[in-house]
Amino acid sequence: MLRARLWRASPFCKRVALDKCPSRGHQRSHSNASTSDVVVHISNSNIHRFGDPTTAAPVFRDVDWIVKDGENWAVIGCGSNQKSALLQTLRGNLRIAPPPPPPGGLFPFLSGLPRDPHAAIALVSFAHRPHSAGGAFYDYTARYGAMREEDRITLKESMFGEHDFLNLRPKGQATANTPEELAAEDVKRLIFEDLTARLGLSSLLDLPLVALSNGQTRRARIVKAILSQPELLLLDEPLTGLDANKRQTLLSVLRSLHEARSPRIIMGLRMHDPVPDWITHLALVHDGKVLTGTKEEILSEQATRETKVNSIRSTISGTSANKAEDDGKPVVVLKNVNVAYGPREVLKSINWIICEGQRWHLQGANGSGKTTLLSLVTGAHPQSYIQRGESHLELFSRPRQRIPTPHLRSLIGVVSPELANAYPRRARTTVWEVIGTGFDGAFVAGGKSGVGTGIGLEGGLADDVRQWRVSRVREVLRGLGPSSWVVDPSDTQQRAGSIELAEADEAFSERAFIDLSSGEQSIVLLMRALVSRPQLVLLDEVWAGMDDGMVRAARRYLRGGGIETDQAVVVVSHWEEEVPWTTEDGLRKFRLEDGVGREV
Ligand SMILES: Nc1ncnc2c1ncn2[C@@H]1O[C@H](COP(=O)(O)OP(=O)(O)OP(=O)(O)O)[C@@H](O)[C@H]1O
């Protein structure tokens, strides 16, 4: 069995070390061992969450889904929650009723293999953010400065070193020493070297894990999952956060893995992601239903549905954006700014001025330095203090070192993957309180009415300031709360003038942040970033995890008054169409390439 599994790393074996691979015969005996060419089998079943009473509505009704070996499937969905729920079903995290019958069960192709089906199916999700552990704030700025010992583990060590950070070796298992174990480790190493080269990670192997950029980390997570040699790998939104070139590279690597069945791959895609040309079949998840068929059938079905949604979308994109003021005074000034880690230069002599009222799209490939640049602007990067002489960093008309960090945090509204991961999930913190932390740029709720205490104010907030803050929390809840996620935008527009909160928004404000879906958490963090009407708003991967209704509501809100004409905004996204403003609205673009930045 071990040798059979090793063979299934065939594309690598063929490319790099034929002599180390077991013979082809083993592949045949492996395929003969399984009794079916059906990979997934769900027939006329409902799918429920575990623990839901039988009376509760199922997550999906009347599901018929058969995936045959050799077919190339993707799951697409209007909201990331339902799409992810279908993938989670394949991981055994939801209950299928009636369950697929033995002997094949849910995965007939596994029935002849002496392998725990649970271990044979791996899921890597980029749609959902990991919850930060407990209530503490995880200091994500560690990557920029002095590192803790556990943060020094390199990408390579994490896979093969004593740390085994990525858990490649089952706990308690000693280092390999039998010939078979050594051969298995060898093949793993070959897979690792081949994949890291193809995914552009080779030059990063000696970097600490925390130093990797988002896109680099995502590719490393996929390598890790493949090294665990699953039979079926589920990748939920693997393209999110990758630049256009890396998306193509990843897709072609995934295709070759899938065709060699090492492993088979099913992808989850967002509704607006382009469907890769090698995908032959789609499962479309919508309104508690799973529609399955060939790509052509499902896309034509979807085109009919889209006609309605598109007419709504055009209403939204047709809404003219709040016209920004002519450029106001500078909010951020970078002159000849540099960032280097030893000999590794990440930013080289950056010149960029961001003024009040401007809308910027910050562009650049994975690892080009976007997050690093924004960390200078937020003052989180230690090297923001040392830009002196020729190099100069001025924030809100003052040199960085003259603004205390807590004050700076209160002046900038930030949404970013790092912040979302680090934001504490305390058991009893409500949505209202999380939004309220935005006024002081804090991470712990506080103050009367849950709207903060004010920076450096000994006696707390004056009554009129507190009232203004309360009314602002209500305003963002009205603009971005659940009642705005409905399809018809006219309802929200009508309510915009009202001071009352809709019942749904009121109830939402009282919910515990920790209990929200990742998309709901994302939109709450957007409310937190906007609530104080900060002079500068940084929106880095702002749509992560949000479903279509939330994305539409947020775009509508940002374009139609949620951002004032004198506020400056920087959007970071690898997808041009995700930016809420266009060049017609005055959008400008700043591009980083190999550490060098310029307006394009
Ligand atoms: N402490 C460090 N030591 C060495 N290199 C580092 C360190 N921190 C970051 N880097 C490198 O700096 C480069 C820029 O990283 P950054 O996160 O700014 O990229 P990015 O443009 O935001 O990428 P992405 O689009 O993937 O999020 C990366 O190549 C990264 O590996």
User: Do residues 231 and 264 make contact, with C-beta atoms less than 8 angstroms apart?
Assistant: yes
Q: Which two tokens stand for residue 127?
A: 């749609």
- What pLDDT score does 533 carry? 94
Contact 155, 212 (CB under 8 A): yes
Q: How many CB atoms lie within 10 A of CB 563?
A: 24
Query: Which pLDDT score, from 0 to 100, does residue 197 have?
Result: 92
What is the 225 CA–ligand 1 centroid distance (Å)? 22
Closest Cα to atom 31 of ligand 1: 212
Instruction: Answer yes or no: is pLDDT of 22 > 70.
Output: no
* Mean pLDDT computed over 149-164: 67
Burial of 558 (0-12, 13-18, 19+ CB in 10 A): buried
- 79: CA distance to ligand 1 center in Å? 30
Q: What percent of the chain has pLDDT over 70?
A: 78
Q: What is the gyration radius of the CA atoms in the chain, in angstroms?
A: 25
Instruction: Using alpha carbons, list the distances in angstroms from residue 434 to 147, 442, 508, 550.
Output: 29, 9, 12, 18
**pLDDT the model gives residue 29:** 36
Residue with the nearest Cα to atom 2 of ligand 1?
Answer: 211
Cis peptide, bond prior to residue 108, ω within 30 of zero: no
Q: What is the pLDDT of residue 6?
A: 39
37-129+153-165+181-308 belongs to which homologous superfamily?
P-loop containing nucleotide triphosphate hydrolases (3.40.50.300)
User: Within 13 A of 348's CA, how many CA atoms are on the CB side?
Assistant: 9
The confidence score (pLDDT) of residue 169 equals 52
**Residue ranges of the chain assigned to CATH 3.40.50.300:** 37-129+153-165+181-308, 356-386+400-486+498-599
> Is the pLDDT assigned to residue 315 strictly greater than 50?
no
What is the distance between the alpha carbons of residues 116 and 170, in angstroms, rounded to a whole number?
14
* Average pLDDT value for residue range 531-559: 89
Q: In the numeric block, which tokens belong to residue 229?
A: 């040699």
Nearest CA to ligand 1 atom 13: 367
For ligand 1, say whether the CB of 367 is within 6 Å of any of its atoms: yes
* DSSP-assigned letter for residue 397: T
Using the atom order of ligand 1, give the atom closest to the CA of residue 143.
Answer: 1
pLDDT per residue over 342-375, tens digit each?
A: 888 999 999 999 999 999 999 999 999 999 999 9
Smallest CA-to-CA distance from 290 within 301, 279, 280 is with 301
Residue to probe by mutation, ligand 1, list 202, 213, 593, most atoms within 8 Å of CB = 213
- Summarize the confidence of residues 388-408 as an average pLDDT: 85
Enumerate residues 6+ apart whose C-beta is below 8 A from 369. Answer: 339, 346, 347, 592, 595, 597
- Domain 356-386+400-486+498-599, what fold? Rossmann fold (3.40.50)
CA 289 from chain center: how many Å?
A: 25
| Substitution candidate for ligand 1 out of 368, 373, 374, 381 with most atoms within 8 A of CB | 368
In whole angstroms, give the CA distance from residue 92 to residue 51: 14
Nearest CA to ligand 1 atom 24: 366
Nearest in space to 227 (alpha carbons), one of 285, 186, 275, 280: 186
pTM given for the model: 0.79
383 Cβ below 6 A of ligand 1: no
Q: Quick check: CB of 595 below 6 Å from ligand 1?
A: no
379 in Cβ contact with 414 (< 8 Å): no
